[in-house]
Structures are given as structure tokens and as C-alpha cells.
Chain A
């Protein structure tokens, strides 16, 4: 290892995971540099979402380790991952429809205050105020932080999910298919959000079927197939034909080419 290489923000080493007899991930390693945008691609059942849920603390791996800033990260639930600076935006946004916008944003890390000698009560006024500030600073729009999420449109619900993931000093934001089922203006908004995160030095892992999004805003492709990583490519060093071919065959032609 050369000393000039920066320490990766996040490094996953030898991650394996099986669901019963099905092996979802086989010894997968992945590293992400600070402020970089990684596009994670692969067909269905390639293991992308499982790998990312492990990184986000929602699934525990059978084996393997995660390092953050070169130090082993010890968390076994999403709250631990979030405290370590890793946030995930789920494809279905993972919002509770009946709860308000502010309640969803603070879900699992509510602000409380002690009253009557120790009883911890929710500080709803403070959470509402901070949620409003958050939307203002991110330039996202929602009708009201006190309206229930189920009263919001799809685009507004995504804004809530983005605000929740980016509003708490995250260092890495994972986005699972953020542009699926969105119209052109909303896709542009997501791209702007990712650019904004990169400028702040926040890394992004983007799971997407839309290769053009990754070519437009990404730094690097990571291709997965059947629970393994097939290839790593700089965005400027590849084309969509090559990426698609690797997604389908599960083989990296450059790795095999010279030796064959």
C-alpha cells in the first residue's frame, strides 16, 4: 500500500451472508473514498440491496468486517450505523404513513427532555422547528412538517426520506433506486442532491438500473452478479455496453483478457 493513498471512508471486507440455503453474498469487499459517488449495479438478486442493508445495519452479515476511517465499526443495528455516519434511503422510503413529517425524520433518534424529575418526554416543538430548518437548508419543499406523510405526494415523500438521510451529518448516504418511478424534474432534483452531498464531502453509493444517472454524476461503477463483485471501473474508463455485458455475463473481460 502506498502512503499517498487516502484512507477509505468505508471499507467492507470479506462480507458473506446466506438466507437459509441461498447464498446471497460471497466474500464481498468494497471500499468508498470520502466524497466519491459510487454506482452499484447488477441485475436482480445480484446482492446489491443485501450488501447495502448490511452496511446500513439493517441486516447482520454472517462473516466479514466493516471499517470506517480505517477503524473497525461495531454496530449491530441501524441506529448504530446512523451514529457512525451511514444513512440509507430505501427504495420505498421506509416512512411510516401515519406519522408526521417531523416524526419520521426523527424516528429512532427523537429529541427528549427531562421533566418532573426524570421522566423523558418528546420535545415535539424542537423537532418540528429543526425539521423546518432542515428542509429550508436543503432547499426541499414539503407542505408542513406536522402533516402526516400519507398526505404527501411521492416526490414529497422522497424529499422527506432525503432530508432524514442527509440532515444529520452523514458521511455516507446509500440510495436504493432513487430515480425509479420518477419524472424528469424529480430525477434532476435527485441528481442535484447528490452533487450537493459530494460538494460537502459526503460519499454516496447509488444503487440504480439507470446507468445514465451514474455516468452523469458518478465517479466509479461497481458491478455485482450472484453475490460477488465482478468489476470496478472509473466512469471515464468504460461505456454502458461494457457495464451491461459484465452485468449479464458476470465476468470482467479485462481481468481475463491478457492471461487468456
Chain B
């Protein structure tokens, strides 16, 4: 995937003089930020062989709550932590139902419809303008020329990478997804791990919702439509397995950037924007095809080699 991204950037740089400018690259990074933020959570969920379809709807609910609470005069330092908490609670609720034995797909599909429904009920379908200095900085500010959404996304990615690769929690999430029965008989707290990954994803969906609302200066129940599919696409594109046990945060970041670079590049080339969706779909299938076929080849090769060694040793 890293190669594909690099290749795409080279091709685009040669075909459009607008592509390889700092302004454009930072712009793409900003567009990719919500995808990266939520994708980090999705990477954890998928590492446990789960899926979360409710993140786009969580974005919408968080967006209308942000609009409503901020326009009611509550200060941002109260509202923002509360929103993260709401996201985490929604995620824990999904996670808890999943530990009761309902498939994650069904639980979070129910979340997808009902949470967006809540967003519409709460807002009556209307968007609320957001006027707040903190939200204005998140949406349009930055440090040393790098925009705030991308900075937030990078901070989330670094923390997520650390959590997945350097702590017991990350290892146990991978073990749960790799082979749940083995994780169980080794005494891992499987239910706690599952609830935690959905809670984490809920909180990160809330953070993504805050970034999106800040960017649009708007709390809207229509925010994040189909976002869950884009997040899943970015995560799978990056090389995380839908079946658990194998997950990469760096891959998710690259997947999210790739999706946005494809969109941006085709736009710059003057391609009809509807084609962007077609092309994204084709890239997704090709990428996963290459990933699975390659990894199967490598595995069978490795197994053949190690069995050969054992044969010599006996």
C-alpha cells in the first residue's frame, strides 16, 4: 500500500502542477484527518475480528450535540470531554451487547440506524451553526502551518500505534481476534477487551465528529453519512485483516491518505467526481486481493520451508 501511495503521488505530480504544492498536500491531509482518527479505532475493533458500522452515525449525533450544547452557551472545555464520553458510552454499549453473543455486524448496524435516528430526533433535522473559538481553531487553526485536524490525527495515530504494538491491551486484542478460544483458555479478559475496543472507537468517532463539525462550523444530523464504509475501506486498504489477529495503524493512516489522494488527484485531473467512488471501489478490491493472495503465498512458502527443516532434523 505504501508503494501504491508513493506511485500515485509520483504520477499525480507529473500530471498536474497543482498537486505537489504544500497547500494541496496539507489540504488532503486535513480531509483525511477524520478518516485517520476513526480508522485508528476501527483498526482495534478489526484486530479483535469485530466491525463497527455505527461510527458515521455517532459522528452525526456528536455533531448535533456539539451544535446544541455550544449554542446553549456551555464552554468548550466542558462540551468536548462530554462529547468524547458520549461516544465512549455508545461504544461500550455496543461492545457489551456483542459480548452477550450478538454478532458485531448486527449490533453496530442497529447502532447505525438508531444513533442517526437519535441525531435527527434531537435536532429535528436542522443544522445548528457553531460559533466558538476553540472549535474555530480545531477547524481552521494550526501550528507552524500544519492544520489542526491533521495534527490531531497524527497524535491519535501515534498513541494508537503505541497502544496496539507496545502494550498488553493491544496484544490481547490481537490474540482475541486471532483465535478467541486460545485467548480464552489462556485466561485473557476477552469481554473486557471487546468492550474496550468499541468504547475506544466510539470515543474516536466522537473526536472525528468534533473535527468534522469544527471544519464545517456546523452541527448537522447529516454529518458522516457513509463514513463508516470509508473508514472500513481505509483500514482494510492499509492491510488490517477483517478476520482479526492482524492489524496495522500505519497501514490505516496510509489507507486513509490514499483514499483522499485518489479523490484529490482525480479532481485535479478534471475527472467527473462520481468516478472517484468507482475508482476507490476498484482500488479497494485490488488492494485486498493483492494482500490476501500475497500473504497466502508467503505463508505456504514459509510452512513448506519449515517442514523441510524439521524433516532434516528428525
| Interface residues of A, Cβ cutoff 8 Å to B | 53, 56-58, 77-80, 82, 88, 90, 92-99, 103, 107-108, 110, 112, 120-122, 141, 143, 147, 150-153, 155-156, 185
Contacts and interface: CB of A to CB of B under 8 A. Distances in A.
Given A78-B186, A120-B168, A151 B178 contact: no
A77 B187 contact: yes
A80 B166 CA distance: 24
A108 B168 CA distance: 9
Which of A53, A78, A151 has most chain B Cβ within 10 Å?
A151
B181 A94 contact: yes
B186 A107 contact: yes
Which of A58, A96, A103 has most chain B Cβ within 10 Å?
A96
Given A120-B168, A155-B310, A108 B186 contact: yes
Given A53-B185, A96-B182, A107-B186, 19 more contacts: A58-B184, A77-B187, A79-B187, A80-B187, A94-B179, A94-B186, A95-B182, A96-B245, A98-B245, A107-B171, A108-B188, A110-B171, A122-B171, A141-B310, A143-B309, A150-B303, A151-B306, A153-B310, A156-B310
Interface of B: 166-168, 171, 174-175, 178-179, 181-188, 245-246, 299, 302-303, 306-307, 309-310, 313-314
A107 to B, nearest CB: 5
Nearest to A56: B185
Contact of A98 (B168, B187, B246, B306): B246
For the residues of B in contact with A, the DSSP-based class is: helix
Contacts of B310: 141, 153, 155-156
B311 to A, nearest CB: 9
For the residues of A in contact with B, the DSSP-based class is: loop
Contacts of B174: 96, 98-99
B306 A78 contact: no
A155 B115 CA distance: 50
Given A57-B187, A98-B174, A151 B303 contact: yes
Contacts, number: 88
Contacts of B175: 96, 99, 103, 107
9 contacts: A90-B185, A97-B178, A97-B245, A107-B171, A110-B168, A120-B167, A122-B166, A141-B313, A153-B306
A185 B314 contact: yes
Nearest to B184: A58
Contacts of A58: 184-185
Contacts of B188: 107-108
Contacts of A94: 179, 181-182, 185-186
Given A110-B168, A122-B171, A153 B303 contact: yes
A94 to B, nearest CB: 4
Contacts of A143: 306, 309
Contacts of A107: 171, 175, 182-183, 186, 188
A96 B306 contact: no
B178 A78 contact: no
Nearest to B310: A153
Contacts of A141: 310, 313
A80 B175 CA distance: 19
Contact of A82 (B183, B187, B245): B187
B307 A150 contact: no
Contacts of B185: 53, 56, 58, 78, 88, 90, 94
B307 A153 contact: yes
Nearest to A121: B166
Contacts of A153: 303, 306-307, 310
B168 A112 contact: yes
Given A58-B185, A78-B186, A98 B167 contact: no
Nearest to A81: B187
Contacts of A78: 185-187
A151 B308 CA distance: 12
B245 A121 contact: no
Contacts of A121: 166-167
Contacts of B246: 98
A122 B182 CA distance: 20
